[in-house]
């Protein structure tokens, strides 16, 4: 079942596998939150929309590749963030949950 809040999303991190019925965006966020950057990136790079670009940007920012992240933020039509990575992940997840 899809979480309704960020707190429920955080609770889902206790699961050993991501629920199959979740959207790709939510799965990508879950894998990242679980520490699996590669699985998250694999999903995000196959999402050809603004959310996929935003997730892709966030992941490259997390990896420390500011240049590549900047490219993906521009594609996502987002400003380069000044918030922490944890705060950005929360913003992304909350965006996914309401859309």
Tens-digit pLDDT profile for residues 38-70? 999 999 999 999 999 999 999 999 999 999 999
In a domain, 22, yes or no: yes
Looking at residue 38, what is its pLDDT? 97
Provide the angle, in degrees to the nearest 10, between the axes of the packed helices 50-63 and 85-98.
160
In the numeric block, which tokens belong to residue 63? 């990896």
Mean pLDDT of the chain: 97
Q: For 19, which DSSP code?
A: -
Confidence of residue 1 (pLDDT cuts 50, 70, 90): confident
Mean pLDDT of 6-18: 97
Asked if the structure places residue 51 within a domain, the reply is yes
| Sequence-distant (≥ 6) Cβ neighbours of residue 87 within 8 angstroms | none
Structural domains in the chain (count):
1
Task: Look up the domain containing 29 and give its range.
Answer: 6-98
Residue 1 placed within a domain: no
The whole-model pTM stands at 0.95
| Domain-embedded: residue 81 | yes
């Amino acid at each position: 079942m899809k979480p309704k809040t960020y707190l429920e999303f955080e609770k889902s991190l206790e699961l050993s596998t991501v629920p199959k019925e979740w959207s790709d965006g939510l799965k990508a966020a879950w894998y990242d939150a679980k520490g699996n950057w590669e699985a998250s990136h694999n999903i995000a790079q196959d999402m050809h929309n603004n959310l996929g670009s935003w997730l892709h940007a966030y992941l490259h920012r997390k990896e420390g590749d500011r240049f590549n992240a900047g490219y993906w933020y521009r594609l996502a039509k987002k400003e380069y963030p000044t918030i922490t990575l944890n705060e950005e992940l929360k913003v992304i997840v909350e965006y996914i949950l309401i859309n």
